[in-house]
Amino acid sequence: MVKSRLEAFTDGVIAIIITILVLNLNPPEKTDFSALLGLSHVFLVYVVSFLTLAVYWNNHHHMFQAVKVVTGKILWLNILFLFCISLFPFTTAWLGENLLSRTAQITYGALMLAADIVWVFLARELVREHSKESSLAKSLKGSKKSAYTIGAVLCGLAVGWFWPPAVMIGCLLSLLPWIVPDKQIESLMRTEQAEHD
């Protein structure tokens, strides 16, 4: 199957999720700066969620540049990934209103953990459907990013049981290796393009 419909659908869904995310930001009832500062915790959670969605989209787009084959299983794993991230507006709104709540923090972290685990399965299935010599397989081989990400979120969840802000810290730390997508995919794609030309 061609990958273009999957990419277009994913782009559209993520764009809608980001739109819903920003629509959940309600302006303060008063018009002074103290009222605005009173919403700083809401804006903080929004920024973390927006950054998370941006990182997911950027790396999804990057990875799919090297994808040649899309199967039914890949489509379903991608749908499951989108389902996980579609819940970010809900958890963001809840955590924004209850920043120090252990339940809200753990729910937010558990959602990110679920999305990260589905991402691992999606990447593995994509590699399985391509040859070991493909750009995709070569670029993802030996990558420790996903293990670090899942570890950071798990640590945040464990510590967050006793100190809730640790969940958000763990989630933020989990994004660090993904802010810059794998350069290896770009270089391998350039090499393939040069050989093709």
| pLDDT tens-digit map of 4-18 | 999 999 999 999 999
Count how many domains the chain has: 1
Length of the chain: 197
**Model pTM above 0.85:** yes
Share of the chain above pLDDT 90, in %: 65
CB atoms inside a 10 Å sphere around CB 193: 9
Containing domain of residue 62, as a range?
A: 4-192
Is 197 a member of any domain?
no
Helices (H), 33-87: 33-37, 40-64, 72-86
Domain with residue 172: its CATH number is 1.20.1410
pLDDT band at 21 (very low <50, low <70, confident <90, very high): very high
- pLDDT, residue 29, reads 81
Alpha carbons 17 and 14: distance in angstroms, whole number: 5
Is 35 a member of any domain?
yes
Is 171 a member of any domain?
yes
Is 39 a member of any domain?
yes
| pLDDT tens-digit map of 128-166 | 888 777 777 777 777 788 999 999 999 999 999 999 999
Alpha carbons 66 and 13: distance in angstroms, whole number: 21
Q: Which two tokens stand for residue 98?
A: 């209850």
- Is there a contact between 21 and 86 (Cβ–Cβ < 8 Å)? no
Is 32 a member of any domain?
yes
